[in-house]
A and B are shown apart, each in its own frame.
Chain A
Amino acid sequence: MANSQIVGSVPSNKPLFAFRKVFSLLAHYAGLVAFAIFTCFPFLWALSVALSMDPSNIWLFPRSFLPTDPGVGWFERVFSEIKFFTYLGNSAIISFWTIVGAVVVSILAGYPLARLRFPGRGLIFIAIIATMMLPQEVAIIPNFVTFKHLGDLSEAVFGFKVTGLNTYSAAVLPYVSTAFGIFLMKQAFEQIPQDLIDAARVDGATEMQILWRVMVPVSAPSIAALSIFTLVNAWNEFIWTGIVIQDKLKMPLSVGMFNDLTGPFAVSTSMVMAGIVLSIVPVLIFFAFTQRYFISGLDGAVK
């Protein structure tokens, strides 16, 4: 693999021996394919086992990479024995609100940090960035206690749980305000020419109007990137969500599927594999449509 980086993206005017060019090109692709097999084999294998109606297929390496007696029976069993669509719906609700919250909060916070001068600006920015260094995982216990209290409080005041344990908001709220989101939007807003803002101010626009009518439309690629990253994180989060949401009817895919697939009732490895395949399909479809934004969006964070 190390050799294959001999091929660069840079076109050379110097004549190269043809065989050397072909050889290094082949080496390059061999490296690419080998690594693709490394990253994808668990899923290809899962797919093959899931499509084999013969459950002994899984023991037959390497033949198990091709389905024996192909059929979709295991997938049908996943749908009938696991609350797949309930989990899917819960994942969608939790992810949607996390994205809406993260985008609004990050845009609002990113603007003053990028474009306004005010006392305390440096200190606030450092405090926000410092949260990247703290192990957020230690917040699990206090946050659990907080949501227990919030639930009790809201039941006492409103008569029902506005938030608290076993509510969607418990899965959403801790992930709305993140240093990554605020930092990404700050970087995006800093690249917008000052003339645009000055022109809007001369026309009498309020800061709120400048933000939503001038800054936000120009920053669409960064907002798209933030949305995608938030979606992937929210969709895949399972430790915190698994702790605060114990109600099976409110569990997202990552929690519900893992519990069902590894729990005492998961007797069939073939069905487990079918479950794995089904639960990554939504993410894969989404990723297929948005993958170019991943790279362009991260550009801003790196510079």
Chain B
Amino acid sequence: MKTSSSYTAIAYLFLAPALILMGLFTFWPVGYNAYLAFNDYSIVDATATWNNFEHFKYLYHEELFHDALKNSLIFLLVVPVLQVAALLVAKLVNNKLPGMTFFRAAYYIPVITAVPIAGVAWLNVYRYDGLLSWFLKTIGIIQNDVNWLGEPEIAIYMVMVFTFWKGIGYYMVLYLAGLQAIPAEVEEAAILDGANAWQRFWKITVPMVKPTILLCTLLSTIAALKSFQEVVVLTRGQADTYTALYYVYAQAFTNFNFGRASAAGLVITFFCVLLAIVQFRFFGEKK
């Protein structure tokens, strides 16, 4: 039998590849990002020069960054809608009726499609004379074509619809896993006691999948706060659709201002950590 000290050596040996890679590509970047936030970085000769809080002062006064933060907060509205819909859809496909495999697959297809590819398809839906305009004109909701991604008042919500469409299958599968862990006897007993579908949903389903609901809410809140791929693909920030991370991306790879981008990134990291702490508190109380 081995002693516990030899287990320690083995444990760290096994963990080494994971920790080295994570250190290099996750922990170090967060630290280096914080360092760059206080510097001017030149991509030409890869040098950094200290410039105090200048980037933060700039961000504090810049309207575009404020709008980006505001849009990221607006984006959080997608979370409750997505979670309720995903749970209902999971309920719909959680039975042994014929064709369920097909429907589950159909709902998962947007998840496995690359964002740019799905985005190009949606660009044709959102075009001013595109599919959405045609559909709403046909059922009489609008009279004239609308450039869905060009109007500052609505463009960000159109991006959110895309996020909803892309993400619902993912959360559906998570909820499905949660639903299938509910023993069939529990629901059978409730039916015998005369509980109707509505009562069964609130008194059995929701409490039983509560851990999954909390997990999914946490995951999708963080995902919503970090959204920017869909902005890259759909609008490139036009029509007031900058999100906080899109701002970082644009500052870094359009303006090549890595310092300012890093400062904005640090602000977002701060918000993410704050949010995670709040949600962990929430988790803790529920347990």
Alpha-carbon gap, A146 to B177, bound state (A): 39
Alpha-carbon gap, A253 to B8, bound state (A): 43
B128 at the interface (CB under 8 A from A): no
A248 at the interface (CB under 8 A from B): no
Selected from A8, A40, A118, the residue in CB contact (under 8 A) with B95 is A8
Chain A: which residue is nearest B211 at the CB level? A302
Residues in B with CB closer than 8 Å to A142 are: 28-30, 32-33, 36
Residues in B with CB closer than 8 Å to A42 are: 118, 121-122, 124-125
Alpha-carbon gap, A257 to B225, bound state (A): 27
A10 at the interface (CB under 8 A from B): yes
Number of interface residues of B (CB under 8 A): 107
Chain A interface size range? 35 or more
Selected from A61, A111, A112, the residue in CB contact (under 8 A) with B131 is A61
Alpha-carbon gap, A97 to B32, bound state (A): 27
Does B7 lie within 8 Å of A39, measured CB to CB?
no
Does B18 lie within 8 Å of A276, measured CB to CB?
no
Does A238 lie within 8 Å of B14, measured CB to CB?
no
Chain B proximity of A299: nearest CB distance (Å): 5
Residues in B with CB closer than 8 Å to A72 are: none
What would 7 more interface pairs be, CB under 8 Å, given A8-B191, A28-B97, A148-B46?
A40-B109, A61-B138, A109-B19, A142-B33, A145-B41, A258-B119, A261-B120
14 contacting pairs across A/B (C-beta < 8 A): A7-B95, A8-B200, A28-B97, A39-B169, A46-B124, A108-B17, A112-B12, A131-B27, A137-B249, A141-B262, A207-B7, A232-B111, A276-B117, A302-B174
- Given A36-B107, A288-B105, residue A105 in contact with residue B245 (CB < 8 A): no
B11 at the interface (CB under 8 A from A): yes
Does A141 lie within 8 Å of B197, measured CB to CB?
no
**1/0 per position for B88-122, CB-CB distance to A under 8 A?**
11011111110101011111111111111111111
A272 at the interface (CB under 8 A from B): yes
Contact stretch, chosen from A73-81, A170-178, A216-224: A170-178
> Which of the listed residues B18, B180, B232, B269 has the most CB atoms from chain A within 10 Å of its own CB?
B18
Does A109 lie within 8 Å of B14, measured CB to CB?
yes
Does B252 lie within 8 Å of A177, measured CB to CB?
no
**1/0 per position for A3-32, CB-CB distance to B under 8 A?**
011111110101000000000010011011
Residues in A with CB closer than 8 Å to B173 are: 294-295, 298
> Which of the listed residues A133, A174, A280 has the most CB atoms from chain B within 10 Å of its own CB?
A133
Residues in B with CB closer than 8 Å to A288 are: 105
Selected from A124, A140, A236, the residue in CB contact (under 8 A) with B15 is A124
Alpha-carbon gap, A280 to B120, bound state (A): 12
Alpha-carbon gap, A255 to B26, bound state (A): 23
- Given A124-B19, A141-B33, residue A239 in contact with residue B229 (CB < 8 A): yes
Alpha-carbon gap, A111 to B94, bound state (A): 33
Selected from A7, A61, A106, A236, the residue in CB contact (under 8 A) with B135 is A61
Alpha-carbon gap, A38 to B169, bound state (A): 12
Does A145 lie within 8 Å of B32, measured CB to CB?
yes
Does A262 lie within 8 Å of B120, measured CB to CB?
yes
Does B262 lie within 8 Å of A238, measured CB to CB?
no
Alpha-carbon gap, A211 to B11, bound state (A): 12
Does B165 lie within 8 Å of A39, measured CB to CB?
yes
A235 at the interface (CB under 8 A from B): yes
Alpha-carbon gap, A91 to B179, bound state (A): 35
Residues in B with CB closer than 8 Å to A138 are: 29-30, 33, 245, 248, 262, 265-266, 268-269
A283 at the interface (CB under 8 A from B): yes
Chain B: which residue is nearest A211 at the CB level? B14
- Given A2-B88, A140-B252, residue A108 in contact with residue B18 (CB < 8 A): yes
Contact stretch, chosen from B75-83, B152-160, B181-189: B181-189
A201 at the interface (CB under 8 A from B): yes
A86 at the interface (CB under 8 A from B): no
Alpha-carbon gap, A57 to B134, bound state (A): 14
- Given A118-B12, A294-B173, residue A137 in contact with residue B248 (CB < 8 A): yes
Does A258 lie within 8 Å of B18, measured CB to CB?
no
Selected from B41, B114, B138, the residue in CB contact (under 8 A) with A238 is B114
Does A294 lie within 8 Å of B121, measured CB to CB?
no
Does A287 lie within 8 Å of B105, measured CB to CB?
yes
Chain B: which residue is nearest A292 at the CB level? B101
B73 at the interface (CB under 8 A from A): no
A104 at the interface (CB under 8 A from B): yes
Alpha-carbon gap, A119 to B116, bound state (A): 45
Residues in A with CB closer than 8 Å to B68 are: none
A182 at the interface (CB under 8 A from B): yes
Chain B: which residue is nearest A207 at the CB level? B10
Alpha-carbon gap, A74 to B273, bound state (A): 48
Does B18 lie within 8 Å of A43, measured CB to CB?
no
Residues in A with CB closer than 8 Å to B177 are: 295, 298-299, 301-302
Selected from A39, A41, A176, the residue in CB contact (under 8 A) with B168 is A39
Q: Which of A260-303 contact B (CB under 8 A)?
A: 261-262, 269, 272-273, 276, 279-280, 283-284, 287-288, 291-292, 294-295, 298-299, 301-303
A245 at the interface (CB under 8 A from B): no
Does B117 lie within 8 Å of A177, measured CB to CB?
no
